[in-house]
Structure 1
């Protein structure tokens, strides 16, 4: 299966406050590349968000804003591309609102939520949070809430599910973003 896994961290509760992004590229069920960047959200940080992901305003002061960073990753988002995220409504919303904030056209792409797939394929787990599913599938997650670590874990979850259950059972979970 070919796809990218994405993950965002935000500075506050607003979806247009992305402060980091990670993409992990998977081809033929193998991770072949990754991208990570801090993002200057050009807005305030909430203490709760800093506590969760550890990113501070000082760390992003010299980072590009989302509009400057977007040209480096926009080619990953097309109708032909499958994009996976763990709790995809959050990550899709962060991408959409961040682009809208800067007046950039929001792309359409196929998305698959590994929370939904893990609920289907592993219904007996106590919950389907990223860290719980990672432990159950023996997938390393060395720094939960670091966008790159989370994107790698999401990628490995989908690869594991594809290998165990087949791509045909994964495809019904894909939908086109709007």
Structure 2
């Protein structure tokens, strides 16, 4: 039985601060299949940098009436539940989650997490393991720097990596490359 259960998360930020998410995309995968998605613009309550806007195309006017992270937080936590969480370059997305939760004095979930970028580095013989490069390797087409599309592409990558390694759970996938889960509220994803 396929036991690949996880939530893939992606943030886009308004500026260089890890406390400035302006959009979030989450894909829930259960038993190796996409089950649900969550997407929202976020009012970061911080200024936008031109460089960030050039990357993701989200402008201050787009988020002026959007909920803040604090307002979305209960929905995000309910959506991910207790499932393992992952991101492509998780050190960034987990940092955004933690630092923004701390900004609003919110408790950070204790969910286990892992990094699909690190997994791809351990499994695939590519020169670059950026999301778009790994997606190209697997012929996955998506709208890069749209948080939900990035989450969908990265979730497909995890499923492809599990297929390549013939693993049927997230635990066996990360252990197969010598890693162990991190925890969203502190411990880093690292070698076992």
TM-score normalised to structure 1 length: 0.94
Residue aligned with 2:38, SS: strand
Report the Cα offset of residue 76 of structure 1: 4.1
Describe the SS at the equivalent of 1:24. strand
Distance 2:14 2:60 in 1: 8
Shift of 1:138: 1.3
Whole-Å Cα distance in 2 between the matches of residues 30 and 138 of structure 1?
18
Matches within 5 A, 1:6-85: 6-77=9-80, 80-85=82-87
1:170 alignment partner in structure 2: 174
1:86 aligns with 2:88: yes
Query: Which of 105, 108, 111 is the equivalent residue of 2:113?
Result: 111
Tell me, what secondary structure is at the counterpart of 2:96? helix
Distance 1:175 1:58 in 2: 36
Q: CA RMSD in A?
A: 1.2
**How far does the alpha carbon of each residue in 1:98-155 deviate from its partner, in whole angstroms, 9 at most, with x for none?**
1111111111111110110000110x212000000000011122x1011001000110
Q: Distance in 2 between matches of 1:64 and 1:76?
A: 16
Query: Matches of residues 149-164 of structure 1 in structure 2 within 5 Å?
Result: 149-164=149-164
**For 2:119 and 2:79, how far apart are their aligned partners in 1?**
22
Does residue 128 (structure 1) correspond to residue 129 (structure 2)? The answer is: yes
Query: 2: CA distance between counterparts of 1:66 and 1:169?
Result: 31
Find the aligned partners of 1:7 and 1:147 in 2 and give their Cα distance. 5
| Alpha-carbon separation, structure 2, partners of 1:100 and 1:176 | 15
Structure 1 unmatched ranges of 5 or more: none
Distance 1:112 1:59 in 2: 31
In the aligned structure 2, how far is the partner of 1:67 from the partner of 1:161? 34
Query: Partners in 1 of 2:62 and 2:19 — Cα distance?
Result: 18
SS in 2 for 1:73: helix
Counterpart for residue 189 of structure 2: none
Number of aligned positions between the proteins:
175
Offset at 1:170? 2.5
Report if aligned partners of 1:77, 1:107 keep a CA contact under 8 Å in 2. no
